[in-house]
Amino acid sequence: MKIWINKTNIDELNEEYHDAVIFNMLKDNPKSNLKTNFEEIWRRFSLKSIDSIYEDFLIIASSIFAVDRRIPRTNVQNMDDDREVKDNWTRTLKVNIPVLKIDKWLTVRNKLEKVLNFLSGDLWKLNFRKTTDRYRNDEYRKNKYIKKGIINNDFDCVSLFSGGLDSFCGALHLLEQGKKVCFVGCMEYNQLKNRMKEIYGKIDRDYPNINKDLIIFSTKPRIPKNINENIRSKYTEDTSRSRSLLFISVAVAVASIVNPEEGIYIPENGFIGLNIPLTPSRMGSCSTRTTHVHFLKNLNKLFEEIDIPYKISNFYAYKTKGQIVKEFKKNSTFIECVDKTISCSHPTQGRMVGVTPINCGYCFPCMIRRASLNVIGCEEQTYIDNFDEEYKLDIKLIRKYGNPYTGRAKDLNALLAALHKYVKNDDPNFYKKQLIKIGGLSFAEIEMFNDIYIKSMEELKNMIIKQANRNDKSLLQYIGMSEDSE
């Protein structure tokens, strides 16, 4: 599929892209279907704009994110489908993007395409066209931003702050070391923005003598232009594997302003960072690579070639989620805020019990979260299953929503199947082989991640055993254990 990206009114479709779908990020709301507020980033620092290469990266990353979220993986009737791989997963995406530093981006185009292919599981074909028009180059009213608060740019590092448990622990980890941190958060919906500000407010109060700040950005792609009215409603996609690239592009833009000596951190546990598919049927959407070491390594190499001096790193890459939270089990800020963090893959589901955002407790990220908190004996009160009996992790859920591919129990079914294989497995190299299949890892990294994977599976197994002992012993049968197992 061909996609054309506009950032000003001057850009016009060339002949090759006359039938392309259009994403337009104009400030003029009626004509814009890619809403962003990137200008808030640098204006909070009392700047009218940022260097061209960083503006380009923002435009590229937001364009990729918009395409990823709005071009569906499944076949759409009457859609111009020119996929090279017709598997209802892999898309062929030809994207034309305006950039200021076209010479630099042309030198790394092939490498960027490979990075994107690995990240999203698609076939990306990028075409850059030269532009001289700056993004949101309108009048800068300094007084407006003085009222909001001009940021003191004395920082040691930039760190992503998603509102999730790992990034929350990452924030505490850095502040406990006395690091001055500029946090970057993404407002995917208003309630999440409020939750991030609530958590950050507690952190700010508890660490008053360390310089820190929080920048929250927003990127909301709507249905692209030039789409037939009969199929417009089908132009949506839930997998969103490119979200981390968007997050990183904003962090890099912030880094270009504050010039942090330590670079940029993206805190996430190694188990979810690799995310080996639980079952063969989950090789697509559930094998996200948003913080995979291969992705970050190659992105850093690409940065070097275009003279972006800031490195992306993950100091939790070789830790389980349980190991991460264990570091803070006696930290008062952690104790007060842990139940406010959001790890859920669909946190707005809480609306059915009148609370949102909320951790549902039954999706895969939630179960990893529950397993990690089980390590420190932490009982949360904000899961839906505490409000509604049918959400408990027990045999009733499997029987009521037993389809292993769809429905509310699909993640639980996949986890139980993976744990069954783990419990019964007698091949000491089994998970090393799985890591090799995913690709992008050295032999040394495979050894380390094999250890992380096994320890994470133990955390999940122990969580299931606890749930079985509390709710229904027959749950143990599903993971290949007898009902008297402990």
Task: Give the integer Cα–Cα distance in Å for 270 and 256.
Answer: 27
Q: Identify residue 182 by its one-letter amino acid code.
A: C
C-alpha distance from residue 272 to each of 42, 287, 358, 364 (Å): 32, 9, 20, 10
Domain assignment of residue 201, yes or no:
no
CB 208 within 8 A of CB 299: no
Provide the 3-class DSSP secondary structure of residue 124: strand
Bridge partners of residue 35, in order along the sequence? 220
Distance, in Å, from the CA atom of 52 to the CA atom of 50, rounded to the nearest integer, reads 6
Query: Which ranges of 136-290 would DSSP assign to H, the alpha helix?
Result: 142-148, 165-176, 190-206, 243-258, 270-274
Q: What was the pLDDT predicted at 288?
A: 61
Q: What's the predicted TM-score (pTM) here? A: 0.90
Distance CA 99, CA 365 (A): 36
In a domain, 378, yes or no: yes
Cβ neighbours for 383, distance < 8 A, ≥ 6 positions apart? 358, 359, 360, 361, 366, 370, 391
Sheet of strand 123-130: strand arrangement: 21-24, 2-6, 92-99, 123-130
Whole-number pLDDT of residue 85 = 53
Alpha carbon distance 150, 143 (integer Å):
10
Q: Cα separation of 108 and 253, whole Å?
A: 19
How far is the CA of 312 from the CAs of 105, 251, 264, 268, 324, in angstroms? Answer: 19, 9, 5, 12, 19
Number of structural domains (the chain) is: 1
What letter would DSSP give residue 63? H
DSSP secondary structure letter of residue 225? B
What b-and-e string marks burial along 74-103, b requiring 16 or more CB atoms within 10 Å of the CB? Answer: eebeebeeebeeeeeebbbbbbbbbbbbee
| Structure confidence at residue 144 (pLDDT) | 63
Alpha carbons within 13 angstroms on the beta-carbon side of residue 158 total 24
Q: CB–CB of 102/128 below 8 Å?
A: yes
Peptide bond into 224 cis (omega under 30): no
Instruction: Specify the pairing of strand 264-265 against strand 157-160.
Output: parallel
In a domain, 462, yes or no: yes
* pLDDT, position 260: 95
- Domain with 383, as residue range(s), is 343-479
What ranges in 306-377 are assigned the alpha helix state H? 321-326, 332-337, 364-375
Q: If you ran DSSP here, which 8-state letter would residue 318 be given? A: T
Helices and strands (H, E) in the chain, number of each type: 17, 11
Q: At 147, phi and psi to the nearest 5? A: -65, -35
Q: Report the 10 Å Cβ neighbour count for 321.
A: 29
What residues pair up with 130 in beta bridges, in sequence order?
99
CA distance linking residue 234 with residue 231, whole number of Å: 5
The answer to whether residue 405 is domain-embedded is: yes
CA geometry: angle 135, 137, 143, nearest 5 deg: 125
From the CA atom positions of the chain, what is the Rg in Å?
23
Residue 406 located in a structural domain: yes
Looking at the DSSP assignment, which residues form a beta bridge with residue 200?
A: none
d(CA 51, CA 285): 35
Q: How far apart are CA 83 and CA 260, in angstroms?
A: 42
DSSP H helices in 207-279:
243-258, 270-274
pLDDT tens, per residue, the chain with 486 residues: 899 988 877 667 888 888 888 899 887 677 788 989 898 899 888 888 999 999 999 999 999 999 998 888 876 444 455 555 556 678 899 999 999 999 999 999 999 999 999 888 889 999 999 999 888 876 666 666 665 667 888 999 999 999 999 999 999 999 999 999 999 999 877 888 999 999 999 999 999 999 999 999 999 998 887 777 777 777 877 777 788 999 999 999 999 999 999 999 999 999 987 767 776 654 444 456 778 888 999 999 999 999 999 999 999 999 999 999 999 999 999 999 998 999 887 776 655 555 667 787 788 888 899 999 999 987 554 443 443 455 566 666 666 666 655 667 788 888 888 999 999 998 989 889 888 887 778 899 999 999 999 999 999 999 999 888 887 788 888 898 876 655
In this structure, is residue 402 part of a structural domain? yes
Give the C-alpha separation, 132 to 356, whole Å. 43
How far is 97 from 90, CA to CA, in rounded Å?
21
Q: What is the pLDDT of residue 467?
A: 84
| End-to-end Cα separation, the chain, in angstroms | 53
Q: Does the residue 397 lie in any domain?
A: yes
Beta carbons of 407 and 383 less than 8 angstroms apart:
no
| Strand (E) or helix (H) holding 4 | strand 2-6
- Using DSSP, state whether 183 is helix, strand or coil: strand
Q: Is residue 333 part of a domain?
A: no
pLDDT at res. 59:
96
Distances (CA, A) of 191 to 47, 160, 397: 29, 18, 28
